[in-house]
Amino acid sequence: MFTGLIETIGKVEVFSISTLGAKIKIKINNFCDFSDVKIGDSISINGVCLSVVSIDQPFFEAEVMKETLNVTNLKYLKKGDEVNLERALKINSRLDGHIVSGHIDLVAKVKSIKQEGFSKKIVFLCNSDLIIKKGSIAINGVSLTVSDIGVDFFEVSLIPETLKSTNLKNLKIGDIVNIEYDLFAKYIKKFVVGSKEEKITLEFLKENGF
């Protein structure tokens, strides 16, 4: 489990795809202390939860399943690309950001980028059924608040600190990003769809904790 608050940016040293999946080797920025990372730990790479299989500070390696390649933007990575990194949430940590599982729902395409004051507004094209205005969303693992929404798009506003500390500063029109919907939105949809057969009344909602 993660928070969507990126700890550092890493650089791809090696990314090799085979018929079995992919292997990725990442160099951690020197100023960030990842010395407590051990084999088997979960690390979010561009929002994708992967397990560490090898460590040689300041490098670590992870393996990517074919299914993960199919549903994320990791398949587009190449040597030198910057990726957002976050270690798994500790139980005694503050829960800033929002709850992020590291399981990508879909990818989105950058439609437009506009500077507005000190912030940058970016519009993404994707299915917006589970997105609400002022709700949370994770883009390449970054916890953000939705500033606007339409039938097939949503918008976020990025402050300078977010741009400085994540790879979202590198985005260009047409780029593909990983999207994870708000976890609670997905559970609510599952609950409602699963209750289609029942008539949803005020009594029904009260009985189910609403």
Work out the average pLDDT over 107-133: 96
Is residue 196 very low, low, confident or very high in pLDDT (cuts 50, 70, 90)? low
Q: What percent of the chain has pLDDT over 90?
A: 78
pLDDT tens for 141-176 read 999 999 999 999 999 999 999 999 999 999 999 999
Q: Is residue 201 part of a domain?
A: no
Same domain, 134 and 78: no
Q: Are residues 113 and 82 in the same domain?
A: no
Per the prediction, the chain carries an average pLDDT of: 91
Average the pLDDT over each of 80-89, 105-114, 193-202 and give the range with the smallest value.
193-202
Same domain? For 62 and 135 the reply is no
Query: CB under 8 Å to 66, separation ≥6 — which residues?
Result: 20, 21
Q: Does one domain contain both 80 and 129? A: no
Per-residue pLDDT tens over the stretch 40-83: 999 999 999 999 999 998 999 999 999 999 999 999 999 999 99
- Assess whether 22 and 75 both reside in one domain: yes
Structure confidence at residue 192 (pLDDT): 77
| Same structural domain, 118 and 163 | yes
The structural domain count of the chain equals 2
Q: Is the pLDDT of residue 194 over 80?
A: no
Q: Which helix (H) or strand (E) holds 161?
A: helix 160-165
Q: Say yes or no: 110 and 157 in one domain.
A: yes
CATH code of residue 129: 2.40.30.20
Distances (CA, A) of 51 to 39, 54, 67, 199: 8, 9, 15, 43
Beta strands in 88-175 (DSSP E): 106-116, 119-125, 136-139, 142-149, 153-158
Give residue 56's domain range.
8-87
Is 210 within a domain? no
pLDDT at position 189 is 80
Q: How confident is the model at residue 59, as a pLDDT?
A: 95
Residue 196 counted as domain residue: no
pLDDT value, residue 38 = 94
Report yes or no on 209 lying in a domain.
Answer: no
Helix H or strand E encompassing 53: strand 48-56
Provide the pLDDT for residue 204. Answer: 58
2 inside domain: no
Asked which of 58, 87, 116 is the last residue of a domain, the reply is 87
* 2 contact partners, CB below 8 Å, separation of at least 6: 44, 49, 86, 88, 89, 97, 100, 101, 102, 141
71: in domain: yes
User: What phi and psi, each to the nearest 5 degrees, are found at residue 137?
Assistant: -155, 150
